[in-house]
Amino acid sequence: MKLLALDSSGLVASVAILDGETLVAEYTLNYKKTHSQTLLPMLDEIVKMTQTELSEVDAIAVAAGPGSFTGLRIGSATAKGLGLALNKPIIPVPTLEGIACNFYGTDALICPMMDARRKQVYTGIYHFAGGTEFEELVAQEAGPVEDIIKKCNELGQKLGKQVIFLGDGVPVYKDIIEEFCTVEHSYAPAHLSRQRAGAVAIRAVRLYDEGKAEPASDHAPIYLRKSQAERELEAKGKKLEE
């Protein structure tokens, strides 16, 4: 199976091509540029460098959310446009599951955290049973940092496992993690701490086998919560009613 994978759900932009068990190429950028400036040029570069014909890919995997509203829209629009043009299915990969797959094979609990602002994170808890079988212990959600740390403490103690924290929310809330996390824990190194399209592709293969691909026309991002603009409009509406 040959996959094109995209991730623009957070600060990182990443594109990868997976051919069977070979990660042919991965282009990841974490710099001060918008995804509208980077994603398509990165895609074009990786296709040219690997002499890949996009018509050859079997499906397009994309980090479907949660994450940055703008980033998700750019990634999903790119994947959807390609899927419609090439008549290829899309494999929507929950963002936190994709990040967790950076630690495929570990025996530890994996807790990705994306900064959702206002002392909240997009997060979940995952595990690889037997080192290979992906398990969702806490489904991806948006909530206070303290809540997910409490769940990490409970699961870590119950299962006798340490927790690995990763994601762009870790440096923002590391003080809180250190204050409230009571089980053994560690932090991902730089090369495994953020979104990577290669990890999205790995998770997408299993989701494809589970029948979770969808027609490009049906694809839409997963936001988990309303945007700040929507919340502000609702607040204004409530004030007007009062």
* pLDDT (mean) for 154-181: 97
Residue 227 pLDDT more than 80? no
Q: What CA–CA distance (Å, rounded) separates 82 from 216?
A: 8
Q: What CA–CA distance (Å, rounded) separates 144 from 155?
A: 17
By percentage, how much of the chain surpasses pLDDT 90? 87
CB 125 within 8 A of CB 110: yes
Give 231's pLDDT tier (boundaries 50, 70, 90): very low
Which one, of 160, 167, 168, lies nearest residue 184 by Cα? 160
- Tens-digit pLDDT profile for residues 26-50: 999 998 778 988 999 999 999 999 9
Whole-model pTM: value is: 0.91
What six digits make up the tokens of 230?
Answer: 């929507």
Q: What CA–CA distance (Å, rounded) separates 9 from 94?
A: 10
Give 15's pLDDT tier (boundaries 50, 70, 90): very high
Q: Choose between 131 and 123: higher pLDDT.
A: 123
Task: Output the pLDDT for position 228.
Answer: 53
Residue 202 pLDDT more than 80? yes
Q: What CA–CA distance (Å, rounded) separates 27 from 171?
A: 23
**Cis? peptide before 66, omega within 30° of 0:** yes
Task: Output the pLDDT for position 162.
Answer: 97
**Residue 121: its H or E element:** strand 120-129
Q: What CA–CA distance (Å, rounded) separates 136 from 23?
A: 25
Q: What is the mean pLDDT of the chain?
A: 92
What six digits make up the tokens of 210?
Answer: 């589970």
Residue 3 pLDDT more than 80? yes
